[in-house]
Amino acid sequence: MVKNKEVTKQKILEAVESIILTDGFDSLGINAVAKSAGVDKVLIYRYFNSFDELLITFIKSKDFFSNIKLDDGVVKSIKSKEDLKQLVIKILKEQISYIRKNKVLQEILLWELNNKNKVTDFIAKERETNGLDNINFLFKEFNNNEFLLGSASLIIGGIYYLILRAKTVDVFNNIDITSDTGWELIERTIEKLIDLVIL
């Protein structure tokens, strides 16, 4: 019997990730985590207080939502509408490949759609300040009109939906959303759309 609190905590956090990857967020539970970590479940309560806090700790440790830094510096570096276009396109493309690669994040996004609780409230706050969902931050001082706002929302929502839908289905509206070629089509579409939409 090894006695090391930090190692045990780490094993628990790794078990969370492993379960999400293999069985999805819905299969996550105290018993499953304890079993997968090879640790007694009572230790989860002791070290993380509750299952919710374990999840929050896990999500914090992964830092999913602060990969885009939409701070004021970025906003002020936008001089022309061409700058804005290129920045938006770059961010959207980066986010597509980031989310498409990151299965854990996909599971969280899916789980978020289905649940409202302390953990999802926490994630929502993270998104408010960091996430893609607030791309309108970029438009604030430059070219803020409702058409741009609406278009960005539909495009970003569409990206989320198509990525998540690809988990259970291959084709959407005749596009193979599981393949890179399908996503290259979508990226070309986004480039053109952004060009049309930022006037």
Work out whether 104 is an interface residue with a second copy (CB under 8 A): no
**CB proximity list for 91: less than 8 A, separation 6 or greater:** 68, 132, 135
Q: Which is nearer to a second copy, 46 or 167 (CB)?
A: 167
Work out whether 147 is an interface residue with a second copy (CB under 8 A): yes
Work out whether 154 is an interface residue with a second copy (CB under 8 A): yes
CA distances from 153 to 11, 125, 149 (A): 39, 18, 6
- In this structure, are residues 132 and 156 in contact, taking their beta carbons and an 8 Å threshold? yes
Q: Which is nearer to DNA, 55 or 110 (CB)?
A: 55
CA distances from 164 to 12, 44, 93, 105 (A): 27, 30, 16, 10
- Single out the residue of 21, 22, 26, 40 in contact with DNA (rule: CB under 7 A): 40
Interface ranges with a second copy (CB under 8 A): 24, 26, 110, 112-116, 120, 124, 133-136, 146-147, 149-162, 164-165, 167-169, 172-175, 185-186, 188-190, 192-193, 196-197
